[in-house]
Amino acid sequence: MTAEQRMTLPDAIHTNGATPNPWWSNAVVYQIYPRSFQDTNGDGFGDLPGITSRLDYLADLGVDVIWLSPVYRSPQDDNGYDISDYQDIDPMFGTLDDMDELLEEAHARGLKVVMDLVVNHTSDEHAWFQASRDKNDPHADWYWWRPAKAGHEPGTPGAEPNAWGSYFGGSAWEYDPKRGEYYLHQFSKKQPDLNWENPEVRAAVYRMMNWWLDRGVDGFRMDVITLISKHVDANGELPGVGESTVDAGPIGPDGYSSPNPFCADGPRQDEFLAEMHREVFDGRDGYLTVGEAPGITPERNEHITDPDNRELDMLFLFDHVEPGGGQSKWTAEPWELSQLKRCLAGQQQAVKDRGWTSLFFNNHDQPRVVSRWGDDSTEEMRVLSAKAIALLLHMHRGTPYVYQGEELGMTNVYFDSLDQYRDLESINMYHQLTEAGVLTEEAMMEALKAISRDNARTPMQWDATKYAGFTASYAPSEPWIGTNPNKDVINVKKQLRDEDSVLAFYRKLIELRHTNPVVAAGAWDMLDEADPQVYAFVRTLHEEGVGGGIDGSGEKRLVVVVNMSSESAALPPETKDVLGLDMSGAIIGGASADRVLIANYPSEQVAADLLFGKLAPWEAFAYEL
């Protein structure tokens, strides 16, 4: 049971500023994308019984929390992030009874279950939205309805209330003939934004959240929760709409302006989150709240996650997975390690005194990190770089999130044709950017191979059978999306027997988070910030009563060093100094190899490499000082 594997951090150790320390301060979360995890009925879609059947695998991995992407009833326009009924399970995934069984079986193994919560928007098939199409209905003001632009005929090009573009392509406004007005949708036109300015909307959301917690769910990951408060003028009007005193922003090359500056981290964000905490979480224990936070700075993360402010436990920030971006995610410039260092350093330093941070490189919206920043050109480089990137992330201070298949080093799928893609964003943006002449068809296909969300959504690779064990080889339906051809090489069955596998390495990283207080809560300090190849930092724990350092002091320290490249690298000067390499021969004497806490090369090789001041390709280790 994972709860028994994880030590309780004593209150003398500082985590997020709360007393006692929260249970999740040395926990690890595993994200499941249900439609791609395990199919038990042969329809080509993963389901809740499939997740239940794999709980022993997750418990053996050592994770503490399972986060489920949405399994609510949905038309599946955006793979379940368009919810039509918050209090029912979509038949694709099973039933409420299946959900109850999953909760019971997970809890029996010491695993908590967190549900994805999508309340910035609903499906346009939700009963709330259907009722709001009638101006005389009590739900009429539950969404952002606006009339056509003055002097334009409703429903015609250019009549949209302002020039905002949807993140999924096209206008952010959709005309509804029944109501005779437009509704705002930052994402798909089937995902209308809820009007959180209306207190009745908020009360309905809180009732639903309490219903799930009472049923046994252990918390929520809140999708784009920092978009719920919109910036409006003194008259309550959105920018660029009607006689608003605020401009809607500059028009981009695709013909639209971005709603993000006006919809992210709005003026009532803190008020809404604090109200949610009061109405839903006060008086409850053992839950976890994490918010997806587009538009949030590290400084704002500190405020929102400060336990004294009673908003959320942690947030997902995105600046570290967006470095190198050009004018859009589809025209990215070459990635540089310095940008990652700068972003993660900002996140770490912002919460060094109060608050907390989430640690992630992969999720259902990101390409596979081993293909993005690592090296999947050969099997040797894939394994080394997958371990190196994992060690880098997990040795930071915060709560690590593992996305399904990440623990295997799963790669991008590299589809060859557009008809292989299923992601709404990828398909829409392909057409919008190629038709506008922003990118050629060839360039857009290369962009999809590198950055499309579908790279993360191919079936979980359990074994080398026809469909990678995701569904039976004889199943009547193929998986909803193509299986990665490298399933024969990268799969759970193969790695379970290999103590040198990426999977085995993740087990060690998770165990360290559970058992080593320096890894869980030590202070974080960057080394050699300007080095273009090596990412290094020191973790330090100053508390008494938790065991002294090797030198007999009351301080425990470790240094983390990662060569983030497929070339050899020299140890940079600050890292050399911290390791004591100025003492001739000392680094390989005595217990130096024993001080290697974890590494992706043999400890003896790490010690030898330190003596010569060099790092092998993708060499990564944590070394106790």
Q: Give the separation between CA 75 and CA 85, rounded to whole angstroms.
A: 10
559 within domain boundaries: yes
Q: State the first-to-last Cα distance of the chain, in angstroms, to the nearest integer.
A: 32
What token pair was written down for 240?
Answer: 């660029």
Domain contains 517: no
Cα 368 to Cα 375: distance, rounded to the nearest angstrom: 11
Any domain includes 513? no
426, 475: one domain: yes
- pLDDT tens string 508-547: 999 999 999 999 999 999 999 999 999 999 999 986 544 4
Residue 195 near residue 88, CB atoms below 8 Å: no
Q: 547: Cβ–Cβ under 8 A, 6 or more apart, which residues?
A: 556
**Residue 594 in domain:** yes
DSSP codes of every residue in 363-394:
-TTS--HHHHTS--SSHHHHHHHHHHHHHHHH
Whether 350 contacts 393, CB under 8 Å:
no
**pLDDT of res. 105:** 98
Judge if 181 and 75 occupy the same domain: no
Coil/strand/helix, residue 416: coil
Contact 231, 126 (CB under 8 A): no
302 plus 404 within the same structural domain: yes
Given 254, 292, 313, 375, the catalytic residue? 292
Distances, alpha carbon 216 to alpha carbons 2, 104, 228, 283, in Å: 18, 8, 26, 15
Tokens standing for 528?
A: 């050699």
When pLDDT is cut at 50, 70 and 90, the band that residue 472 belongs to is very high
- Do 89 and 132 sit in the same domain of this protein? no
Nearest residue to 549 via CA among 591, 512, 586: 591
* Helix (H) or strand (E) run with residue 606 in it: helix 603-611
Q: Are 341 and 529 in contact (CB under 8 A)?
A: yes
454 classed as catalytic? no
Residue 63 near residue 53 (C-beta atoms within 8 A): no
pLDDT category, 506, cuts 50, 70, 90? very high
Which two structure tokens, joined as six digits, stand for 91?
Answer: 């038949």
Contact 242, 310 (CB under 8 A): no
Q: How far apart are CA 379 and CA 619, in angstroms?
A: 15
Count H helices, E strands: the chain?
19, 20
Query: What's 533's domain CATH number?
Result: 2.60.40.1180
Does residue 9 sit within a domain? yes
269 lies in the same domain as 314: yes
Residue range(s) defining the domain that contains residue 618:
522-624
Average pLDDT over residues 244-258: 92
Mean pLDDT value of segment 282-294: 96
The verdict on whether omega for the bond into residue 20 sits within 30 degrees of 0, i.e. cis, is yes
Q: Based on the fold, state whether residues 405 and 539 are members of the same structural domain.
A: no
On whether the CB atoms of residues 316 and 367 are closer than 8 A, the answer is no
Note the pLDDT of residue 424.
87
Q: Same domain, yes or no, for 207 and 279?
A: yes
* Phi and psi at residue 510, to the nearest 5°: -65, -40
What distances in angstroms separate CA 77 from CA 73, 115, 222, 275, 423, one per listed residue?
A: 12, 19, 19, 30, 9
Is residue 552 predicted with pLDDT exceeding 70? no
Residues 173 and 210 in one domain: no
- Which residue do the tokens 């930071």 mark? 396
pLDDT for 327? 53
Phi, psi dihedrals of residue 432, rounded to the nearest 5°: -65, -45
Q: Is the pLDDT of residue 3 over 60?
A: no
Contacts of residue 353, defined as CB under 8 A and 6 or more positions apart, other chains included, come to: 17
Binning pLDDT at 50, 70 and 90, where does residue 295 land?
confident
DSSP symbols for 305-321? H-GGG-S-SEEE--GGG
* Residue 172 belongs to a domain: yes
305: left (phi over 0), alpha (psi -120 to 50) or beta: alpha
DSSP element (H, E) containing 513:
helix 502-515
Answer yes or no: do 337 and 433 share one domain.
yes
Domains in the chain, number: 3
Number of other CB atoms surrounding residue 560 within 10 Å? 24
Considering the domain architecture, whether residues 41 and 54 belong to the same structural domain is answered as yes
Catalytic residue among 78, 193, 218, 223: 223
Distance from CA of residue 551 to its chain's centroid? 39
* Confidence at residue 583, expressed as pLDDT on a 0 to 100 scale: 45
- Does residue 511 form part of some domain? no
Instruction: Report the candidate in 187, 162, 186, 164 with the shortest Cα–Cα distance to residue 252.
Output: 164
User: Strand, helix or coil at 600?
Assistant: coil
Over 50: is that where the pLDDT of 586 sits?
no
292: its two tokens: 């997806």
Is 418 within 8 Å of 430 (Cβ atoms)?
yes
How far CA 364 is from CA of 39, 128, 456, in Å, comes to 18, 27, 5
- pLDDT above 90 as % of the chain: 88
* Type of residue at 271: E
Q: What is the CATH number of the domain that holds 135?
A: 3.90.400.10
What average pLDDT does the chain have?
A: 93
CA-CA distance, 356 to 28, in Å (whole number)?
14
Instruction: Please name the residues in contact with 396: beta carbons below 8 A apart, sequence gap of 6 or more.
Output: 344, 348, 357, 359, 524, 537
User: Tell me: the pLDDT tens digits for 182-203?
Assistant: 999 999 999 999 999 999 999 9
Q: Is residue 596 part of a domain?
A: yes
> Are 437 and 484 within one domain?
yes
47 within 8 A of 40, measured Cβ to Cβ: yes
Q: Checking DSSP bridges between strand 219-222 and strand 288-292, what pairing results, if any?
A: parallel
Distance CA 495, CA 224 (A): 35
Question: Which comes out higher in pLDDT, residue 2 or 9?
Answer: 9
Tell me, yes or no, if 223 is annotated catalytic.
Answer: yes
**pLDDT tens digit string along 359-390?**
999 999 999 999 999 999 999 999 999 999 99
- Measured in degrees and rounded to the nearest 5, phi and psi for residue 288 equal -135, 135
The answer on 214 and 128 residing in a single domain is no
CA pseudo-torsion sign 431, 228, 261, 238: positive
Q: Compute the average pLDDT of residues 204-230.
A: 98
